[in-house]
């Protein structure tokens, strides 16, 4: 156990953090703990992509660690002290403490489930049943030398999927000796949460001034808890029916503390591929704040390119949005060199996709208005009107600030997926189960909309702190905090329940003890076990 832990620290530092630092950090600026968390997360993702390449090339997957190790040796020889994070006392202790507390709730939500699912000889429970398939795919990557990987769930069937998260976990398990479920739930998922928090913190620090100190904790609240399809329609319905009656007060309290009111997962964050995608997109947003910087532009290019290995729908949203934004900037500045960044990102993505998911072909069908009456699409529009309206409410000279800041850029990433999902349907050629996959999977191109909207709201709120708009600002902040405290309280609630009262969770959870006890008593050698 101690040896595996030391190996894990060695791999994370010299195989993940140091190489990413060498490639993407602006060496004129000091390294902070937030940089350490963000670069380590990106390094783990990069290690997964290299593992895919190694498997596809037919070589030992352990070779994926070699490029990072060689780069680390170069960095340590050249300047070993530069990559060590510097510790500083916070400039604004109160607001920083509140921000850290909000980030702690977000991290605890992931860590608590890791303690339940990642310890012991097998996962005690599964929350969100898709994670069982991910765990099976990690085992398949470890056990099979060939590529594409043969499924362990269906004999002789090749599993074609985005293998970024699974490959990252597989290589970490092989290199450290930790079992796959420990790596996935107790190490990989908390690392992704750390990446989200670190990137969000670095984004917020770019906007902080002595007059806008509250944006430290408010920004963490917006960027961490305003980034999902939380069912705001139920929140608004409950608030609209509130009065002085006891039932109304009970309904309001229930929004914060009922574990089944909104379901266990409302944001896909604990599905490994989706959560990895969120972490990479948050890192993209950090680089997007200053594309004039060569290192930031390089970071954005790389992050967009490898995103396809973790969540293909997210790559479509971010890649298309980034490409359109670059075209707008090229038209405005006449700088042709801007074209190279999205072009290189596209080449990286195409290369990874050809390796990871060969021989998959889609047919696109023009179906206008397909999601016009869809419940989630309507909820999306409601979210846009509500949170976007808050930003407009807080800023009287809205259009002036909208043009001068980068706020308009985020609407490119919001509008493109909305247009796409209402114009196009698609089928997967050779798909046996009816063929039409225009469902939740394709709709996932829209699941990043709240994240970009949250970024837009944060930028607009920051603009109000530079003006004397006290009444509007505090009104917008009050409504925003009221809405976001609800998902924050549910995150905290679901951080406590898995550890102390897992039986209270009834939405998509399953106990594994009965199956484990049965397998311990049944001779399984040479047998085929069929379960649901």
- Kindly report, residue by residue over 82-128, the tens digit of the pLDDT: 888 888 777 888 889 999 999 999 999 899 889 988 888 888 888 77
Strand ranges in 358-402 using DSSP code E only, listed in sequence order = 362-366
Cβ atoms of residues 15 and 47 within 8 Å: yes
In angstroms, how far apart are the furthest CA atoms of the chain?
Answer: 75
Which residue, among 193, 191, 215, has the nearest Cα to 205 in the 3D structure?
215
Half-sphere exposure of 259 (CA within 13 A, CB side): 17
pLDDT, position 282: 97
Q: For position 98, what pLDDT does the model report?
A: 92
pLDDT number for residue 364:
56
**Dihedral, CA atoms, 469, 475, 476, 482, nearest 10 degrees?**
150
Q: Whole-angstrom Cα distance, residue 297 to residue 284?
A: 9
Q: How many H-runs (helices) and E-runs (strands) does the chain carry?
A: 23, 4
pTM higher than the cut 0.85: yes
Residue 492 confidence class, pLDDT cut points 50, 70, 90: confident
> What is the per-residue pLDDT for 309?
92
Encode pLDDT of 33-72 as tens digits.
999 999 999 999 999 999 999 998 889 999 999 999 999 9
Q: Is 99 helix (H, G, I), strand (E, B) or coil?
A: helix
182 against 355, higher pLDDT: 182
Whether 425 and 363 have beta carbons less than 8 Å apart is answered as no
- Nearest-angstrom CA–CA distance, 288 and 303: 11
* pLDDT of 77 higher than 90: no
With contact defined as beta carbons under 8 Å apart, do 367 and 427 qualify? no
| Confidence at residue 508, expressed as pLDDT on a 0 to 100 scale | 65
**Among 52-56, 156-160, 496-500, the range of highest mean pLDDT:** 52-56
Residue 498, classed as helix, strand or coil, is helix
Residue 500 CA to residue 119 CA, distance in Å, equals: 15
> What pLDDT score was predicted for residue 425?
58
CA dihedral 401, 406, 411, 412 (to 10 degrees): 140
> Looking at residue 13, what is its pLDDT?
94
pLDDT given at position 479:
77
Within 10 A of 141 (CB to CB), how many other CB atoms are there?
A: 27
Which two structure tokens, joined as six digits, stand for 463? Answer: 């603009």
At 432 the pLDDT is 40
Looking up tokens 């311990």 gives: 520
Q: What are phi and psi of 37, to 5 degrees?
A: -65, -45
* Crossing angle (nearest 10°) for helices 312-333 and 340-356: 160
Q: What pLDDT does 66 receive?
A: 95
For the CA atoms of 37, 41, 47, 48, what is the dihedral angle to 10 degrees? Answer: 160
Higher pLDDT, 394 or 182: 182
77: number of Cβ within 10 Å: 8
Residue 403 confidence (pLDDT): 66
d(CA 116, CA 502): 9
Cβ atoms 386, 455 nearer than 8 A: no
Tokens 């039409």 -> residue: 436
pLDDT(173) > 90: yes
Please compute the mean of the pLDDT values over residues 189-213 and round it to a whole number. Answer: 92
The confidence score (pLDDT) of residue 504 equals 67
State residue 202's pLDDT score. 96
Report phi then psi at 150, rounded to 5. -80, 140
Q: How high is the mean pLDDT of the chain?
A: 81
In this prediction, residues 315-319 reach a mean pLDDT of 93
DSSP, residue by residue, 220-257: HHHHHHSSS---HHHHHHHHHT--SSHHHHHHHHHHHH
Domain boundaries, the chain: 2-85+104-205, 215-290+359-497
Which range has the worst mean pLDDT, 23-37, 359-373, 439-453, 490-504?
359-373
What length does the chain have?
532
């Amino acid at each position: 156990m101690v040896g595996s832990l030391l190996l894990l620290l060695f791999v994370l530092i010299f195989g993940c953090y140091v190489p990413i630092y060498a490639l993407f950090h602006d060496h004129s600026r000091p390294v902070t703990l937030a940089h350490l968390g963000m670069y380590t997360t990106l390094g783990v993702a990069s290690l997964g992509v290299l593992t895919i390449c190694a498997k596809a090339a037919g070589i030992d997957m352990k070779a994926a660690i070699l490029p990072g190790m060689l780069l680390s040796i170069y960095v340590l020889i050249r300047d070993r002290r530069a990559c060590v994070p510097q510790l500083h006392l916070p400039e604004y202790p109160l607001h920083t403490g509140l921000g850290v507390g909000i980030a702690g709730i977000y991290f605890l939500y992931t860590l608590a489930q890791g303690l339940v699912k990642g310890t012991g000889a097998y996962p005690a429970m599964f929350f969100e049943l898709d994670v069982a398939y991910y765990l099976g795919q990690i085992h398949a990557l470890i056990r099979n030398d060939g590529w594409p990987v043969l499924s362990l769930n269906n004999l002789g069937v090749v599993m074609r999927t985005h293998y970024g998260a699974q490959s990252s976990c597989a290589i970490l398990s092989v290199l450290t000796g930790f079992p796959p479920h420990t790596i996935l739930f107790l190490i990989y998922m908390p690392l992704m949460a750390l990446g989200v928090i670190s990137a969000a913190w670095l984004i917020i620090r770019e906007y902080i001034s002595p007059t806008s100190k509250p944006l430290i904790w408010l920004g963490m609240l917006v960027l961490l808890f305003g980034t999902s399809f939380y069912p705001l329609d139920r929140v608004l319905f409950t608030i609209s029916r509130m009065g002085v009656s006891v039932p109304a007060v009970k309904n309001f309290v229930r929004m914060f503390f009922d574990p089944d009111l909104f379901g266990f997962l409302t944001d896909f964050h604990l599905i490994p591929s989706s959560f990895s995608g969120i972490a990479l997109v948050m890192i993209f947003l950090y680089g997007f704040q200053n594309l004039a910087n060569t290192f930031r532009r390089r970071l954005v290019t790389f992050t967009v390119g490898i995103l396809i290995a973790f969540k293909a729908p997210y790559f479509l949203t971010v890649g298309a949005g980034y490409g359109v934004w670059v075209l707008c900037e090229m038209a405005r500045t006449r700088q042709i060199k801007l074209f190279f960044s999205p072009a290189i990102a596209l080449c990286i993505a195409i290369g990874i996709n050809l390796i990871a998911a060969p021989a998959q072909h889609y047919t696109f069908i023009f179906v206008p208005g397909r999601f016009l009456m869809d419940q989630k699409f309507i909820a999306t529009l409601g979210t846009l009107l509500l949170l976007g309206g808050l930003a407009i409410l807080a800023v009287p000279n809205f259009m002036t600030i909208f043009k001068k800041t980068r706020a308009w850029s985020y609407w490119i990433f919001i509008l493109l997926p909305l247009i796409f999902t209402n114009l196009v349907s698609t089928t997967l050629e050779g798909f046996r189960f009816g063929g039409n996959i225009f469902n939740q999977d394709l709709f996932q191109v829209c699941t990043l909309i709240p994240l970009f909207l949250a970024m837009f709201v944060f930028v607009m709120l920051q603009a109000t702190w530079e003006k004397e708009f006290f009444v509007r600002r505090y009104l917008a902040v009050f409504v925003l905090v009221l809405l976001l405290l609800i998902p924050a309280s549910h995150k905290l609630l679901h951080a406590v329940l898995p550890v102390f009262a897992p039986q209270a969770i009834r939405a998509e959870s399953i106990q594994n003890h009965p199956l484990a006890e049965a397998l311990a008593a049944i001779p399984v050698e040479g047998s085929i076990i069929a379960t649901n």
